[in-house]
Amino acid sequence: MAKQAETVSNARLNQALAACKSDREKCLVLLSTKAGLRAVEIAGLTWSRVDLEERKLLLATTKGNKPRTVPMSRELWEALEAYRRSRQGHTGANDPVFVNTQAAPGKALTPNAVAVWFRDFYRRRLGWTGYSSHSGRRSFATNAAKKIVIAGGSLKDVQALLGHENLNTTQRYIETDEDAQRKVVDML
């Protein structure tokens, strides 16, 4: 089994956001870390699928071809709102949220282009190894699992947010935390 991508700690997320050179880059990072989107989902996002009024993403292009809705954090919502304003004239319902700026200017980014962007961003700009486009998704899963009970939910809700058919898949995404294990045992 291949080694899983590293998760992005809160401190590293702050470093990554500080390293972003544009609203576009900030949105890419936040869609991964704060909404748990896969590269294919980021690449397939059109403005008709970004509901800024209701603060939710309506995902149609998913791994399992099963649409799902993901609520947006305030931080992601603000970033997408700022990015949309900067893309004046290119935010029609069918316009891709992210377009290629190099190889095929104006065309939607491909899933591979998104994955390459994350690899280069983490490795070249930040000097991190072991990170990929899936790092943010794993971080989202871990953070959601830690906080879902506080919000009155369960791991089934994390599973739904990630779009997994099987809870076992979701569990493989979640990092363990020895300190949390110790705290919960002390609470019993």
85 is a catalytic site residue: no
Q: Which of 34, 49, 137, 138 is catalytic?
A: 137
Determine the longest span between alpha carbons in the chain, in angstroms. 58
164 is a catalytic site residue: yes
Q: Which of 34, 38, 49, 138 is catalytic?
A: 38
Q: Which of 63, 85, 147, 156 is catalytic?
A: 63
Q: Which of 12, 26, 49, 134 is catalytic?
A: 134
137 is a catalytic site residue: yes
Quick one: which H or E segment has residue 25? helix 23-33
134 is a catalytic site residue: yes
HEC string for 72-115: CCHHHHHHHHHHHHHCCCCCCCCCECCECCCCCCCCECCHHHHH
| Structural tokens at position 114 | 């998104």
Q: Which of 12, 24, 49, 164 is catalytic?
A: 164
Query: Distance between the two ends of the chain, CA-based, in angstroms?
Result: 36
7: which strand partners? none
Q: Which of 83, 122, 131, 173 is catalytic?
A: 173
Q: What is the layout of strands, in order, in the sheet containing 56-59?
A: 50-51, 56-59, 68-71
CB distance 112 to 18 below 8 Å: no
- Torsion sign, CA atoms 90, 94, 113, 54: positive
55 is a catalytic site residue: no
Q: Which positions are annotated as active-site residues? A: 38, 63, 134, 137, 164, 173
